[in-house]
A and B are shown apart, each in its own frame.
Chain A
Amino acid sequence: MTGKKEARARRALLGAGGYHGTGILLAIFFLAPFAITILSSFRHGTEARLPPVPPWPTTGFSLDAYRSLDSFGAGVWQHTLNSAAVAIGTALLTVVVSLLAGYGFSRYRFMFKNALFVLIIATLMIPFQSILTPLFIILARLGLNNSLIGLTLVYVTLQLPFSVFMMRNAFDAVPKEIEEAARIDGARDLRLLVRVLLPLVLPGIVTVAIFAFLNSWNEFLAALVLLSDNSKFTLPILISAVRAGRLGAIDWGAVQAGVTVMSVPCLFVFLLLQRYYMRGLMAGAVK
């Protein structure tokens, strides 16, 4: 009797140990690059030029790398601000447009609705690199080349097909009766959308916002091609300049600092919103 019980307890312990052990191992595997980057960004200027073993500061904590990073381009603050403006602007605009478009595609009946929707989705099949030149020309005609607003508009355009698809699914998952009940209760148009439907599609909105933010925050090629003014560069371009080095010498400390500056907001946004994001992805999946 007791032997059996002990055996069972031992097996349970082994199982739990294996489960958590594997989890911890995987977590280390994924977190190590972050830890190495962040830690080594705090090494002394001289130490930063040495091979990165061990990766943590051995001669004391220092902000040299960040100071060095700030000496590139128009200063790291300016570029972070540029990136933040573009990413937040893209996220907001994408959410607003895809919210309205998704609602329309989900709820209204109009001519060529399905054809139009397929057309929007089909643009996902076009590699955007192939339309960079026309985009550049269009922006130039509009007087929006070398402007952060122009870049934001390009990002929103690239982000919309997926976002509209996501939001249509989110609205499809909301039972029609809820909307009808709200109409009987006297909520119409914008009030209906904001008071009743918005909370129900919030997971979808968060998903769209996260994708828009991360994609535009990290985007490199379009920013490189469309922006020509040093002071307007976004962070990825700054980092590439840092990585290219000065006079043949690469300041690895500055590179690590740049990577840290770039990745922290992404982590922050994701951790803050991941709860909704997971729900949003799943709502889209089962529908």
Chain B
Amino acid sequence: MSDSGVQLTEVRKSYGSMEVIHGVNLSIPDGAFVVFVGPSGCGKSTLLRMIAGLEEVTDGEIAIKGREVTDVDPSQRGIAMVFQSYALYPHMTVRDNLAFGLKMQRTDKAVIDERVAAAAAILKIEQLLDRRPGQLSGGQRQRVAIGRAIVRQPEVFLFDEPLSNLDAELRVSMRVEIARLHRELGNTMVYVTHDQTEAMTLADVIVVLRDGRIEQSGSPRTVYEDPDNAFVAGFIGSPRMNLLDAVWRGDGKVELAGRMEAAPIAGAGLVPGDKVTFGLRPEHLIVGAAGGIEARVDVLEYLGGTRYLYCQLTDGQPLIVEYRDGPDVRSGDSITLGCPPDRRYIFNEGGLRIR
């Protein structure tokens, strides 16, 4: 058990008769950086708040470092949390904000000063210690909020969309900073976001949630390259994976827009004639491939390094293509598209991946 930072066992949460978290099982290794992603309302924040002890657990068990904490007070769980809105105490100076938790634990003053100074040094906010939160910029406030977490020396850091309130540029630099912090401190970190760039770049393990259930958890590479179902395939990756209606024709073939396409699967559990979903990532599509599927370009977005082509197949299904180099393409043009066989994903009618 000691190698587990956070252990969730059959964790459920209901509000009245409505269950919002449906029996989540998750083992977070000690020292890992785990990111919960999912669309809004998927329960990722609720799950984090349950780990923090801010939401009651209806059923199941939560353990932190092998110690069962399901009904333990938030301050006694060995966690620290960074909120989206920073949640600094506006009437206290930065120094008092950092020291408040330790003061509540009646820590020795010398120890408090030492830890506050250390945290301030890590985050480079020494010169801000005597200011109040109202006098700080968004990025500085976020640093103070992280500092308040560091000072507590928790087993587990919890981040609830910490960068959502920052502007794009600051978000990138704070993202790097959080990654650096994780490397330096080596603590377990649980991080909630709906931004998949944050998820992909920060995570050791990504947990994709939908409607209070874990859809898949694994390394960023696993969830991107080997998604378990159509939801994860569509959610991870930007622009999202093209999920096209197709029909399984057996013998490693699917029919897509009136054409036979090779599908790299044996087709266990499928009967010829079954409806399937054919998944193709925009970045894997090759424009101008000989013998490829035909499409017409509707709209073209030029992003400098790359271009997104919003196309239609001959049967009218929309499709996005990422197009990096090659001859110019205009809207209205007809193009042919190819895709390497090992980059083709097939999902059954229920959305499950067929391998």
Contact = CB atoms under 8 A, between A and B. Distances in A.
Nearest to B82: A181
Nearest to B149: A184
Interface stretch (A67-75, A89-97, A186-194, A232-240): A186-194
Given A184-B101, A185-B100, A199-B91, A175 B73 contact: no
A10 interface: no
Contacts of B74: 180, 183-184
Interface string B71-96: 00111100111011111111100000
A283 to B, nearest CB: 13
Given A185-B100, A186-B75, A188-B73, A180 B105 contact: no
B85 A191 contact: no
B18 to A, nearest CB: 15
B100 A178 contact: no
A162 to B, nearest CB: 25
Given A175-B87, A200-B91, A181 B148 contact: yes
Given A186-B75, A187-B104, A191-B104, A180 B89 contact: no
A229 interface: no
Interface in A83-118: none
A195 B80 CA distance: 19
A178 B75 contact: no
B89 A184 contact: no
A6 interface: no
B108 to A, nearest CB: 15
Main secondary structure of the interface of A (DSSP, over half): helix
A180 B91 contact: no
A185 B53 CA distance: 12
Contacts of A175: 85, 87
Nearest to A180: B54
Given A200-B90, A200-B91, A184 B52 contact: yes
B83 A181 contact: yes
A139 interface: no
Interface string B131-152: 0000000000000000010001
A182 B75 CA distance: 9
Nearest to A181: B87
Contacts of A185: 75, 100-101, 104, 148, 152
Nearest to B80: A184
Given A196-B89, A200-B90, A200-B91, A186 B83 contact: no
A177 B101 contact: no
Interface in A193-239: 195-196, 199-200
B interface, how many residues as a size bin?
20 to 34
Given A183-B75, A184-B74, A185-B104, A177 B91 contact: no
B87 to A, nearest CB: 4
Contacts of A200: 90-91
Which one of A178, A188, A200 has the greatest number of beta carbons of chain B within 10 Å?
Answer: A178
A136 to B, nearest CB: 44
B54 A183 contact: yes
Interface residues of A, number: 17
Contacts of B88: 178, 181
Contact of A181 (B53, B81, B91): B81
A177 B87 contact: yes
Interface in B148-169: 148, 152
Contacts of B90: 178, 200
A104 to B, nearest CB: 19
Nearest to B81: A184
Interface in A13-46: none
B101 A186 contact: yes
A195 to B, nearest CB: 8
A177 to B, nearest CB: 4
Nearest to B55: A180
B75 A180 contact: no
Contacts of B91: 199-200
Interface string B41-66: 00000000000111000000000000
Interface string B111-143: 000000000000000000000000000000000
A180 B83 contact: yes
Contact of B104 (A178, A180, A186, A199): A186
Contacts of A188: 73, 75
Nearest to B84: A177
Interface in B267-294: none
Contacts of B80: 184
A182 B85 CA distance: 14
Contacts of B52: 180, 184
Nearest to A179: B87
A200 B87 CA distance: 12
B89 A182 contact: yes
A177 B52 CA distance: 12
Contacts of B86: 177
B333 to A, nearest CB: 51
Nearest to A196: B89
Nearest to A199: B91
A188 B105 CA distance: 12
Contacts of B76: 186
A27 B90 CA distance: 36
Contacts of A196: 89
10 contacts: A177-B87, A180-B52, A180-B81, A181-B81, A181-B87, A181-B89, A184-B79, A184-B80, A184-B81, A199-B91
Interface of B: 52-54, 73-76, 79-81, 83-91, 100-101, 104-105, 148, 152
CB-CB nearest 9 A-B residue pairs: A186-B75, A185-B101, A177-B87, A186-B104, A199-B91, A181-B87, A177-B83, A184-B74, A178-B87
Given A178-B90, A184-B75, A185-B148, 9 more contacts: A175-B85, A177-B87, A178-B88, A181-B88, A182-B100, A183-B54, A183-B75, A184-B81, A187-B104
